[in-house]
């Protein structure tokens, strides 16, 4: 075969070379510009915002939850309303970038997707100096609000949601945390439904609409110049930061309630309270079970009661009283048992029973200590 190039081959190869040079020049141009700077057809940040109808946003957020989850739902609820008000750049904005946040981030149970998605819109429309202020209000409000809100429950009962899948009022709980795992688990426990149930999904759909609606209210107030933060952190946060914050050991940077997960290390009590309002009396199975040498026992009260929580052996003999008819407010509590009897001695391996008495309520759970 001849090494000589035909005119056709020369033109084809020349075209490829020009194309490659163009791509290379484009890549060089991208590198030489500021990272992620707005192109000629890209809207400049912050994006435009106009006051929204919070009930329209609530409905869109609730509906979109059933399409692609909580993070997408809250984000879409706001973006859809903005697209109808303003048009571009919102009309073509891909809300699907928030699909990852469902279930606390791909099902990891971390930050709830609803405030995550709503805060993303806050970031898109706000000056940098205001983003943390506004998003912090949203997160703080989430930790202290009853979900679903009365507004969402009322809409469901009245059939005014576009997506009407469940028309009963749902139990309301306060999570005390922005974590999906905490928020969901507390509600499931209080409501008596499984995490996979239609009722739990509807609860999260209503919550998604609620969060999107509150984000719209925050942004409406900010636009009007009337925004004032309402969230006040629990006193325990400031107490913890006195020792662990930047002015002391500088080991923690947080705004959430500390004792909810960690208990109070400065008290001799073995009882830690979780924030929430359970609907029924309940004694959970201890965890871990089997255990060695310690285990945790959780119980819930719908109203204030004196509680006796005690451990017995297989012969019905009292081993240890964990709470001796102490008075507790309505809430969910966790008690630790260190595997010791009343005299402080380690008990033998075997089967034990936890009995809870609170008012007229009484129940027992079986535990196994393995050494």
Q: Which residue has the higher pLDDT, 347 or 238?
A: 347
Mean pLDDT in residue range 134-161? 96
- Is the CATH number 2.60.40.4070 carried by domain 268-369? yes
Average per-residue pLDDT for the chain: 85
Distance CA 364, CA 367 (A): 10
Residue 235 — very low, low, confident or very high, per pLDDT cuts 50/70/90?
Answer: confident
- Residue predicted with more confidence, 40 or 305: 305
Q: What is the per-residue pLDDT for 264?
A: 52
> Between 292 and 26, where is the model more confident?
292
Residue 259 vs residue 345, higher pLDDT? 345
Domain boundaries, given as residue ranges, for the chain:
54-224, 268-369
H helix intervals, the chain: 7-32, 54-68, 70-86, 113-125, 128-144, 150-158, 180-191, 198-224, 235-244, 259-262
The string of pLDDT tens digits covering residues 45-97 is 999 999 999 999 999 999 999 999 999 999 999 999 999 999 999 999 999 99
Give the pair of three-digit tokens for residue 260. Answer: 């909810």
Band of the pLDDT at 120, cuts 50, 70, 90?
very high
Measure CA 128 to chain center. 24
Span 200-210, pLDDT tens digits = 999 999 999 99
Quote the pTM value: 0.65
SS3 state of residue 351: strand
């Amino acid at each position: 075969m001849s090494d000589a190039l035909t005119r056709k081959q020369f033109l084809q190869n020349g075209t490829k070379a020009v194309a490659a040079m163009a791509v290379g020049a484009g890549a060089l141009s991208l590198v030489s510009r500021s990272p992620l700077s707005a192109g000629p057809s890209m809207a400049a940040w912050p994006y435009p915002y106009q006051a929204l109808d919070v009930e329209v946003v609530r409905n869109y957020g609730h509906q979109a939850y059933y399409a692609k989850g909580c993070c997408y739902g809250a984000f879409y609820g706001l973006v859809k309303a903005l697209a109808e008000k303003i048009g571009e750049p919102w009309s073509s904005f891909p809300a699907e970038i928030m699909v990852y946040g469902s279930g606390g981030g791909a099902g990891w149970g971390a930050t709830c997707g609803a405030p995550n998605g709503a805060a993303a819109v806050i970031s898109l429309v706000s000056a940098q100096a205001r983003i943390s202020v506004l998003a912090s209000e949203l997160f703080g409000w989430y930790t202290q609000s009853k979900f679903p809100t009365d507004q969402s429950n009322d809409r469901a009962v009245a059939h005014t949601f576009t997506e009407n899948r469940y028309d009963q009022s749902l139990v309301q709980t306060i999570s005390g945390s922005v974590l999906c795992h905490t928020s969901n688990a507390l509600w499931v426990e209080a409501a008596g439904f499984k995490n996979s149930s239609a009722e739990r999904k509807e609860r999260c759909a209503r919550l998604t609409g609620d969060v999107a609606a509150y984000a719209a209210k925050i942004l409406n107030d900010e636009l009007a110049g009337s925004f004032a933060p309402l969230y006040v952190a629990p006193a325990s946060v400031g107490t913890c930061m006195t020792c662990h914050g930047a002015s002391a050991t500088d080991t923690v940077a947080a705004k959430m309630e500390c004792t909810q997960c960690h208990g109070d290390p400065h008290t001799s009590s073995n009882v830690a309270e979780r924030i929430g309002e359970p609907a029924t009396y309940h004694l959970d199975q201890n965890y871990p079970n089997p255990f060695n040498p310690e285990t945790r026992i959780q119980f819930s009260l719908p109203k204030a009661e004196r509680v006796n929580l005690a451990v017995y052996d297989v012969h019905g003999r009292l081993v240890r009283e964990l709470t001796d008819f102490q008075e507790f407010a309505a809430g969910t509590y966790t008690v630790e048992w260190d595997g010791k009897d009343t005299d402080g001695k380690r008990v033998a391996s075997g089967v034990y029973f936890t009995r809870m008495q609170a008012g007229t309520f009484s129940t027992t759970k079986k535990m196994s200590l393995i050494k």
